[in-house]
Amino acid sequence: MELFPEYAGWVRRNPPGKLLRQLGRTPLVEEAGRRIGALPVAELGSLTNESSFTATIAPLDSRHQWSLGTAEQLVLQALVSGRKVRTAFEIGTFNGGTTRLLAEAVPEDGQVVTLDLPPAAFDATQTPEGFTGTDVGRAYHDSPAAGKVKQLLENSLSFDPKPYEGQFDLVLVDGGHEYEHGMADTATALRLVAPGGIILWDDFEPYWHGLVRGICEAMQGRALHRLSGTSFGVYVQP
């Protein structure tokens, strides 16, 4: 008989190795929090020219725990509308829910290019519950706007943005969450964005300390902001 069954259960859920890893993360998370806290805050109203817009919320059954949050979905569509976005590039297709929102939000002559790993590479490196590499992009496939989408299946760490340089009014970075992805995907986004365009980074939060460090280092000397009320980092290309 266990004298303290509640404590025994907690120990099983939190073995010593896990606790040590969490303790090791703490200084890194705190440093990421300081980096983010030191950045200026951008308000949505300062980034758009409209006070009202029409928006869509992705159906719950099309969403995954890795999908873009509701607030971020609304902000993204507000920016597409208010900034008259015609071309968008997404790093990190995942299930295609955000791809669909973008494709349906841009005008009829608009285009969305979205990038994610090929199925085999996805399955070798990613383990989202109930999702495999063959599911990448599935949420936009039955959209009336699917014809606006160009799907690229490549590793963002080795992706060559040269054919697409300077062509996109909006770049959404929502791929890998490690330091190397923060560095590489940010460098790619800076090459993709058009003059006057905007870059958004999802999950720009202390928990993802490696991602935050990579973004901040890659953006050194540029006017990186955090977007109020969201998990977005934001930058407007001069």
C-alpha 12, offset from chain centre:
33
Element (H, E) at 173: strand 168-173
Residue 222's Cβ-side half-sphere holds a number of Cα atoms within 13 Å equal to 19
pLDDT digits (tens, 9 = 90+) for 41-52: 999 999 998 777
Q: What is the pLDDT of residue 5?
A: 55
Q: Rounded to an integer, what distance in angstroms lies between the CA atom of residue 230 and that of residue 72?
A: 6
Other Cβ atoms less than 10 A from the Cβ of 92: the count is 24
Low-confidence ranges of the chain (pLDDT < 50): 1-3, 7, 10-11, 19-20
Q: What is the pLDDT of residue 64?
A: 78
- The dihedrals phi and psi of 7, each to the nearest 5 degrees, come to -65, -40
Other Cβ atoms less than 10 A from the Cβ of 85: the count is 23
Q: What is the pLDDT of residue 198?
A: 98
Both structure tokens of 164: 């697409």
Q: Under DSSP, is residue 169 helix (H, G, I), strand (E, B) or coil?
A: strand
For tokens 């951008």, name the residue: 42
**Ramachandran assignment for 87, one of left (phi > 0), alpha (psi -120 to 50 degrees), beta (any other):** beta
Residue 238, Cβ density class (10 Å: 0-12 exposed, 13-18 middle, ≥19 buried): exposed
| 177 neighbors 208 (Cβ within 8 angstroms) | yes
Q: Could you give all domains of the chain from N- to C-terminal order, each with its CATH number? A: 14-236 (3.40.50.150)
